[in-house]
Amino acid sequence: MRLSLWSSMLMAGPCLAQGDIAALLASEPDLSTLLELVGLVDGLADTLASASNITILAPTNAAFAAVDRAVPEGEAIEYKNNTIAIGALLANHVFKGVYPSDVITNIPTFAQTLLDISYIDARQPFSNFTGGAYNELVMNGDDVCIISGEQTISTVTQADIKLGDGITIHKVDTVLSFGAPFQLFTYRSGYFAMNAALEAAQIAIDFGLSGPESQGLNISDFTIFVPTDEAFKNIGSVLASADEATLQDILKYHIIPNNVIFSTSLRNVTVPSLQGKNLTFTVLPDGSAWVNNARITFPNTILFNGVAHVIDSVIAPGPFDRSTLKPSAPAAERLAFPNASAISALPFPSATLAFGGDLMTYTTTPRLLQTVAAVAISSGKTSTTPTGLPMVTYTGAGTTMVTGVGIALAVAFFIAAIVL
């Protein structure tokens, strides 16, 4: 990891001496592993100490001990032999902006970190978001939690340790995880139909792959909607007769390029898809979020270079009239394809063999991920804008999804939505 990257990212604002971060870590016996890892990156402790407007998540010794030693960052923790992996891991624990515990609510906040595409070791890059990878901050009862990649939930065990005016430190009980590439996420989550459809369509898009095996357009900063296997089976008769071009058209309609849209920033708006036609978003008073006729059932999975939302129906390219939405109808009765009928087996082969050696499947979904709010609904806790940040944060080179709405919404949560 290059010190110049840390310096340029952390010292963009006023650089006032904040204190001795190494001394602070040394004074906390349960942070000795973190102190050792910070010391492996030349100059990092001094750079962090002189930074302004950052939040550091500090995993405890027990948290570091629990990291799987079979992954690059776990191996690096064990053997101290990969400063790139260590640098990436630490960068994923430093947020741009000060996030004291009292600004976190039951409405998720999506904050960017210092982890970017510059961290690449011999085996993998660690993230590829413009401006830094995202993690999610949210209240879980009385606990402040951070949701990172791979369904990982870290709980703050000691909050609001101050180092001067510009640095806030929270101890956490679990090391944050990197986001998985899209097709690895769908495999591990059991959304095999989406993987199989992408393979069958030969869509020529790689979602985060790199190296000689990478084929086609490699996109980042995208939003993708993932129909469940049941949703694909509900329109099985359509898929059975669809040619490759039609299947490509359908799948591209589920992708929004150059536009990271978390569900909490949604309103009744339209956004262009990769296929070219607009997607229509609807937010109902009950807190449910919809894209065309499909309900978002599992929002905001943070990937290697995008965000995924699971939906209960396959959506069809073309105009959608919001007034025709029937939210009380079951998914099988909200089909976007006229005269479609269900089948028991999909007409394209499973793509699971490509990941057959991977054993990291999600057998259960943590309750917090099932219940966290999809959209901004009333909260009993007042939130304020994190200090040191602009009111609206962008990824890529787009514009806000809804002009004027972003500033109002940022009082309650951190917006990450861009329109092409």
Which CATH number does the domain housing residue 313 bear? Answer: 2.30.180.10
Q: Do both 216 and 143 map to the same domain? A: no
**Is 147 within the bounds of a domain?**
yes
The full length of the chain comes to 420
pTM comes to 0.84
Domain stops at, among 172, 198, 229 = 172
What six digits make up the tokens of 413? 């949560």
Asked whether residue 65 falls in the same domain as residue 151, the answer is: yes
**Do 267 and 402 belong to one domain?**
yes
401 within a domain of the structure (yes/no): yes
Proportion of the chain above pLDDT 70, given as a percent: 79
- Is the pLDDT at 394 greater than 60? The verdict is no
DSSP for residue 226 = E
Cα angle 54-300-191, degrees, rounded to a multiple of 5: 140
Q: Measured between alpha carbons, how far is 132 from 109 in angstroms, rounded to an integer?
A: 15
On whether both 333 and 404 belong to a single domain, the answer is yes
**pLDDT grade for 184, boundaries at 50, 70 and 90:** confident
402 is a domain residue: yes
Rounded to an integer, the average pLDDT of 63-92 is 93
Which residue among 172, 206, 241 closes a domain?
A: 172
- Are 190 and 165 found together in one domain? no
pLDDT band of residue 392 (cuts 50, 70, 90) is: very low
Render the burial of 261-275: b for 16+ CB within 10 Å, e for the rest: bbbbbbeebbbebbb
Instruction: Please tell me the predicted confidence (pLDDT) of residue 218.
Output: 60
Beta bridge partner(s), residue 56: 94, 169
Note whether residue 363 is domain-resident. no
Model pLDDT, residue 364 = 75
For residues 187 and 168, membership in a common domain is answered with no
Tell me: do 87 and 195 sit in the same domain. Answer: no
Residues in contact with 321: Cβ distance below 8 Å, sequence separation at least 6, in sequence order:
none
> How many other C-beta atoms can be found within 10 angstroms of the C-beta atom of residue 389?
18
d(CA 121, CA 72): 9
* 198 and 96 inside one domain: no
Instruction: Give the residue numbers spanning the domain of 193.
Output: 182-358+390-409
pLDDT of residue 164: 80
d(CA 315, CA 336): 6
Q: Are 256 and 279 in contact (CB under 8 A)?
A: yes
pLDDT of 212 higher than 90: no
In a domain? residue 345:
yes
238 domain-assigned: yes
- Indicate if 166 and 192 belong to the same structural domain: no
pLDDT for residue 309 = 97
Residue 414 lies in a domain: no
Residues 205 and 153 in one domain: no
Is 248 in contact with 203 (CB distance < 8 Å)? yes
Radius of gyration of the chain (CA): 22
In a domain, 365, yes or no: no
Q: Please compute the mean of the pLDDT values over residues 40-61 and round it to a whole number.
A: 84
**Which of 371, 370, 290 lies closest to 334 in space, CA to CA?**
290
163 with 204, same domain: the answer is no
Quote the number of domains for the chain: 2
Are 118 and 247 found together in one domain? no
Of 110, 143, 172, the last residue of a domain is: 172
Phi then psi for residue 94, to 5 deg, are -120, 115
With beta carbons less than 8 A apart as the criterion, state whether 83 and 388 touch: no
CA distance 322 to 283: 10
Q: What is the pLDDT of residue 86?
A: 94
Task: For residue 281, name the pLDDT band (cuts at 50, 70, 90).
Answer: very high
> Has residue 389 got a pLDDT over 60?
no
Helix (H/G/I), strand (E/B), else coil: 76: helix
DSSP 220: -
Summarize the confidence of residues 350-379 as an average pLDDT. Answer: 72
